[in-house]
Amino acid sequence: MFENKRILVAGGAGFVGTNLINRLLSLGADIRATLHEKPPAIEDDRIEYVTCDLMEKKDCRRVADRIDYVFMCAANTSGAGVMAKTPLVHVTPNILMNTLLLDAAYACGVKKFLFVSSNTVYPALDHPVKEDEMVPGDVFEKYYCVAWMKQFTEIMCRMYAEKIAKPMKTVVVRPANIYGPYDDFEWETSHVLPALMRKVIERHDPIEVWGDGNDIKDFIYIDDFIDGMLLAAEKIHTFEPVNIASGVPCSIKQALHAIIEADGYTDARISFDATKPTMIPKRLIDTSRAKQLLGFKAKTSISDGIRKTTHWYRQRRQSQQCAQACVP
């Protein structure tokens, strides 16, 4: 499907975008990728990087021109602390980018548009959530702003796919909590796993954990997520959102102990701080639709994924420190 096709990766310097570009290069795609403030993580002559602002209509039209498939990976994101302090921070930028790039893709005759949504669109339920359980407006309170933004964009995707005379195929994937190489490890914007990995690698003593460590998440390794996303782009031809997840629950405590073991921090002390912002206490995700429609099943265990990511980040830090030391 992707060989010699013109593919736009919006968010080409981000976590998902960078890993997607790596995979698409191996599949022989002709890649255009957008950049905004961050430099690209991959330097390759086969990639056409375009510096632009996806909140500007003219820039969206420019990058969507002569494109076969769009992967909308660009997003304004952050961790629990920023979401708690400024819940509206993700609303306007993301609504503008999603709306304008959908409009540009349609105007330019794009064959298929894939949108990376979120598991925040679901209500707070104790069982593994299924795709049909998304109810507009019924969301976990702390996710209210970001979840409504994602839900609204999903509804727009459905409009383009079903509610107009000449529709454009759209695909919506709802990922679990993604982690892996090229993740965001900055304190202000990182999610829970990269934040904990950084604390372990920097040998914080004690390791401070926000909350009591008993929150249950579904973590999916980035390579598995890319597998699922590309299968969805290839095999879904009608509007049918799909969860891309591991289907395996994991507590924050379990994940932290896996990180400590992976990096050999044998005498680590842990301090839990229930006063710090946390998100939904339990999120389980049903993966049966992905298995049925796509033949998808995550391959990477949480222990293997954490080991790979922790090793990658340690190597990355050492390379950066060596480079800084060599600067006169």
Say which range, 86-95, 131-140, 280-289, has the weakest mean pLDDT: 86-95
Cβ-Cβ contacts under 8 Å for 23 (sequence gap 6 or more): 226, 230
Q: If DSSP states are collapsed to H, E and C, what string results for 178-228?
A: EECCCCCCCCCCCCHHHHHHHHHHCCCCCEEEEECCCCEEEEEEHHHHHHH
Distance (Å, rounded) from C-alpha 7 to C-alpha 249? 34
> So what's the pLDDT on residue 327?
65
Residue 85 forms part of a structural domain: yes
* CA triple 138-236-175, angle to 5 deg: 45
Residue 1 forms part of a structural domain: no
The band of 82, judged by pLDDT with boundaries at 50, 70 and 90, is low
Are 241 and 154 contacting, i.e. CB atoms less than 8 angstroms apart?
Answer: yes
Burial class (CB in 10 A: 0-12, 13-18, 19+), 107: middle
CATH classification of the domain holding 224: 3.40.50.720
Q: How many domains does the chain have?
A: 1
SS3 237: coil
Residue 56 forms part of a structural domain: yes
Write out the two tokens for 38: 């961050």
Are 28 and 2 contacting, i.e. CB atoms less than 8 angstroms apart?
Answer: yes
Say which range, 107-116, 294-303, 315-324, has the weakest mean pLDDT: 315-324
Q: How far is CA 237 from CA 29, 109, 208, 294, in A?
A: 20, 16, 46, 12
Range of the domain at 90: 6-324
Are 128 and 245 contacting, i.e. CB atoms less than 8 angstroms apart?
Answer: no
Tell me the mean pLDDT in the region 205-234: 97
Write out the two tokens for 85: 């302090």
pLDDT in tens, 34-71: 999 999 999 999 999 999 999 999 999 999 999 999 99
Distance (Å, rounded) from C-alpha 17 to C-alpha 33? 8
Is pLDDT of 255 > 70?
A: yes
> So what's the pLDDT on residue 79?
62
Is pLDDT of 212 > 90?
A: yes
Residue 231 forms part of a structural domain: yes
Residue 269 forms part of a structural domain: yes
Distance (Å, rounded) from C-alpha 186 to C-alpha 143? 21
Is pLDDT of 227 > 90?
A: yes
The Cβ-side half-sphere exposure at 310, using a 13 Å CA radius, reads 24
Helix (H) or strand (E) holding 61: helix 57-64
Write out the two tokens for 9: 């990766």
Tell me the mean pLDDT in the region 167-182: 98
Average of per-residue pLDDT values in the chain: 94
